Amino acid sequence: MTIARPPSVPDPKRWWILALCGLGQLMIVLDLAVVNIALPKAQIALDFSNDDRQWIVTAYALAFGSLLLLGGRLSDRIGRKRTFMIGMTGFALASAVGGAAQNFFMLAGARAVQGVFAALLSPATLSLLTTTFSEPRERGRAFGIFSGIAGSGSAVGLLLGGALTSYLSWRWCLYVNDVIAVVGLIGAAVLLPRTESDKRVRINDPGIIFAVAGLVSLVFGFSEAALDGWGAATTVGPLAAAVVLLVTFVAIERRVAHPILPFEVVLNRNRGASYLTILLLAIGMFGVFLFLVYYLEEIAGYSAVRAGLAFIPLTVSVVIGSVLTNTRLLPRFGPKWLVSVAAVVGCVGMLYFAQISLTTSYWSGILPPQLIFGVALGAMFGVCFNMATAGTSPGTAGVASALVTTGQQVGGSIGTSLLNTIATSAAATYLAAHASAAYLAAHASTIMTTHVWRSAQVHSYGVAFYIAAGFIFVAGLGAAIIYPAGKRPAAVSERVVAHAA
């Protein structure tokens, strides 16, 4: 039997639960950036190739991205508290194994298992927040803080990863999850009320197989595109298979009695617009985190720690933008124009980034666009996280939350592969136009230190920033078209809120 509380009676521990949810989300988003920082030293310590190195990232992405929908539905079925604790425990154990890895296969396997449990933890975390906060004003504040954590986690991960790798060991980039998990599990045991499984939610949908296979193919295809190019068989084949599998999944979902993805979740205009915006925003935002790191470390000569510190203004502005938007602006203006205007501001910040050169000063060319883009990113994430889960019942909160993370994960995979490919092509074109074949051959062993190579890299980063700005603009255009007009967001479901377990 579910322990229920009328929406008019807030949980007295709700702000502590918000802190717990933020901790769970932070562990997931930190891990993505922290491990990337640790990879070069892990590669040296465990003696694996560059091709193998990509699998440390891909193994996690495949498991995480493909199992999110199932993880969200399991959260609805067996309860959010139970799913949260299972996910956090499994993630911590996998992190401990990865930190103690003695070879490539041990590390890659641990990363894959991390992805499996992250697919449980992530939707449980967001759906816990959804079912805990139902009063609109408090919900706005809670989602502002939560989405600020989600939007700035990568920047925090760069700083933490750089510090851990420089002053301790690359292994602590994985062990740090165990420290977080201990705090999280104690908090969950104390704060989250116990409830029984919701047997009304059934997981007997044959579409699960097609959903998992389709998402695996999709994420794998985009990962291969970053390595082998868009025309390679290893890219085209998986992406074509993903289209077939996911179309089949949709066809099955329309006919089964208990779909893993109830279509009313997606077809609601507020939620549908939010999922699309998150997908496109995730593609574009990687233009900042990926290429700005390259610029700071490879061109400006920053250490990993200094590069992480350079991202602090972005982190702060994301949190400010998210909290301010959800608490002050969303109730007054609604999501339609708020997300659209924020997208335009985000484009301005991204276009500012695109003006970088070999001599750009941090204070005049990096800091201002960080502040501009950070506020816009926080505003868009804040509104979309809120609206993507607003109005859901306890039986669909998990799968609605899973779709948010699926959009981020798939968007991140597209952004990484697409922008990398575009930047590589732009750099090659620049080199061909500014250096003769004889010059390139003569400097082959030292090309990375030449002025023309550095200029080519900076040019390629600028091109990537322009493309990223385009994706953010399209996100804003989609929001203007799809979100319904109105000053007030759709009300949170007035059904009895089941406090997650």
pLDDT above 90 as % of the chain: 26
Helix axes 451-482, 269-294, angle to 10 degrees: 170
Q: Is residue 498 within a helix (H) or strand (E), and if so which, with residue range?
A: strand 497-498
Distance CA 448, CA 434 (A): 15
Are the CB atoms for 374 and 148 separated by under 8 Å? Answer: no
| Mean per-residue pLDDT over the chain, rounded | 82
Give the tens place of pLDDT for each residue, 42-86. Answer: 888 888 876 677 788 778 888 887 888 888 878 877 888 888 999
Sort 106 into a burial class: Cβ within 10 Å, 0-12 / 13-18 / 19+: middle
pLDDT of residue 492: 42
Q: Between 343 and 262, name the one with better pLDDT.
A: 343
User: Where do the H-state alpha helices sit in 133-206?
Assistant: 136-167, 172-191
The pLDDT value given to residue 186? 94
List pLDDT tens digits, range 280-291: 998 888 777 778
Stretch among 77-86, 91-100, 177-186, 476-485 having the lowest mean pLDDT: 77-86
**In contact, 128 and 17? CB cutoff 8 Å:** yes
Query: Residue 376: CB partners within 8 Å, gap ≥ 6?
Result: 321, 342, 343, 345, 346, 348, 349
Using an 8 Å Cβ cutoff, are 366 and 313 in contact? no
- pLDDT tens digits for 169-212? 889 989 999 999 999 999 999 888 765 555 555 565 677 888 88
Class of domain 4-203+260-495: mainly alpha
> For 4-22, what is the mean pLDDT?
73
Alpha carbons 130 and 409: distance in angstroms, whole number: 20
The conformation of residue 355, written as its DSSP 8-state character, comes to T
What residue segments make up the domains of the chain, in order of their start? 4-203+260-495, 204-259
SS3 string, 368-404, reads HHHHHHHHHHHHHHHHHHHHHHCCCCCCCHHHHHHHH
pLDDT in tens, 310-325: 888 988 898 888 888 8
In this prediction, what percent of the chain has a pLDDT beyond 70? 88
Return the DSSP state at 448.
Answer: G
pLDDT at 487 over 80: no
User: Residue holding tokens 């996911």?
Assistant: 246
